[in-house]
């Protein structure tokens, strides 16, 4: 079975500054990875390699069996779904139209382009999947942040990708909308068992229960990588964020909080 993503000894420099140093990542079909680390750690840059958008300074990056630098990136991106809550829609597209732009890889519907009946049916099917079937005709400006997030997941799934990238998908959501979005992400594991995903976040509370693996980075270097239970520990998260953080998992969901230390002169209980 060929890996979906294989980053090997990746180094990336920008303006003479090392952004990533010796990063490795191996994602197999059906695996769901979390990418965690503090601000400026290099998460977005790693996601750029996964999305076939940038080239490494050294090392090799292979996505869906193709080495970056030896393949037409535009063609490769057609097999990658990307969910970005900052998606820059400014017009009054309906939810259905937003999903259809996943076929054209554009922000707006292309002039003189008409979806086939099968495309329209799939867009409606995906809106049903993410819980927006009743809102298929809602216009983007009238949709809540949570509805927009779910519509963007449907958009990313429209071209039947083999890889789904989620860049801080719960940004700006309230608790209820966040939970609805995470339930939608969890459902994907059952609807397409071979789909692989990488989700970027700062917060352990924002990880769906379907998360199977994690890569934790800090200052452009790997702190931990592998099965989620081994990678997300009090020790690794405290090291990455340079702060004493206690990590817990309950019913498949994660939480993190500062390790409480006894006041000076007060013995620990």
Same domain, 235 and 177: yes
Structure tokens that stand for 223 in this block: 């702190």
pLDDT of residue 261: 67
Give how many domains the chain has, as a whole number.
2
pLDDT at 267: 60
Per-residue model confidence (pLDDT) at position 158: 93
* pLDDT per residue of the chain (269 residues) written in tens, 0 to 9: 789 999 999 999 999 899 999 999 999 999 999 999 999 899 999 999 999 988 999 999 999 999 988 877 777 888 899 998 888 888 899 999 999 999 888 888 888 888 899 999 999 999 999 999 999 999 999 999 899 999 999 999 999 999 999 999 988 888 998 999 999 999 988 888 999 999 999 899 999 999 999 999 999 999 999 999 999 999 999 999 999 999 999 999 999 999 776 665 556 55
> Are residues 63 and 191 both part of a single domain?
yes
What is this structure's pTM? 0.90
Bridge partners (DSSP) of residue 213 are 33, 227
What SS3 class is residue 213?
Answer: strand
Residue 249 falls inside a structural domain? no
At CB < 8 A and 24+ separation, what contacts does 176-185 make? 176/146, 177/144, 177/145, 177/146, 177/149, 178/146, 178/206, 180/131, 180/146, 180/150, 181/146, 181/149, 181/150, 181/153, 182/206, 182/208, 182/209, 184/129, 184/130, 184/131, 184/150, 184/153, 185/153, 185/210
Give the end of a domain, one of 160, 194, 211: 160
Same domain, 151 and 167: no
pLDDT at 104: 85
- Per the structure, the complete domain to which residue 124 belongs is given by 91-160
E-assigned strand segments in 78-230: 80-83, 163-167, 196-201, 213-218, 221-227
Q: Are residues 166 and 230 in the same domain?
A: yes
| DSSP category for residue 260 | P
**Looking at the structure, do residues 74 and 100 belong to the same domain, yes or no?**
no
In a domain, 147, yes or no: yes
Residues 43 and 61 in one domain: yes
Co-location of 217 and 238 in the same domain? yes
Predicted confidence (pLDDT) per residue in 127-150, tens digit: 999 999 999 999 999 999 899 999
1 and 75 within one domain: yes
């Amino acid at each position: 079975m060929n890996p979906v993503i294989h980053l090997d000894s990746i180094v990336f420099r920008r303006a003479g500054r090392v952004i990533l140093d010796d990063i490795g990542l191996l994602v197999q079909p059906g695996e769901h990875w979390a990418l965690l680390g503090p601000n400026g750690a290099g998460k977005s840059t790693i996601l750029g390699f996964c999305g076939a958008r940038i080239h490494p300074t050294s090392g090799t990056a292979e996505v869906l069996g193709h080495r970056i630098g030896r393949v037409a990136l535009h063609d490769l991106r057609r097999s990658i779904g990307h969910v970005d809550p900052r998606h820059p829609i400014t017009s009054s597209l309906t939810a259905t139209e937003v999903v259809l732009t996943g076929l054209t890889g554009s922000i707006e519907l292309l002039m003189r382009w008409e979806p086939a009946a099968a495309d329209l049916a799939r867009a409606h099917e995906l809106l049903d999947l993410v819980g927006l079937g009743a809102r298929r005709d809602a216009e983007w400006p009238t949709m809540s942040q949570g509805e927009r997030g779910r519509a963007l997941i449907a958009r990313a799934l429209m071209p039947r990708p083999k890889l789904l990238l989620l860049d801080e998908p719960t940004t700006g959501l309230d608790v209820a909308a966040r939970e609805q979005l995470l339930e939608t992400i969890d459902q994907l594991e059952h609807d397409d068992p071979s789909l692989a995903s990488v989700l970027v976040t700062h917060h352990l509370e924002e990880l769906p229960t379907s998360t199977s693996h994690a890569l934790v980075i800090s200052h452009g270097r790997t702190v931990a990588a592998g099965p989620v239970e081994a990678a997300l520990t009090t020790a690794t998260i405290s090291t990455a964020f340079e702060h004493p953080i206690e990590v817990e998992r309950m019913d498949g969901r994660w939480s993190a909080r500062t390790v409480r230390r006894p006041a000076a002169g007060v013995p620990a209980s």
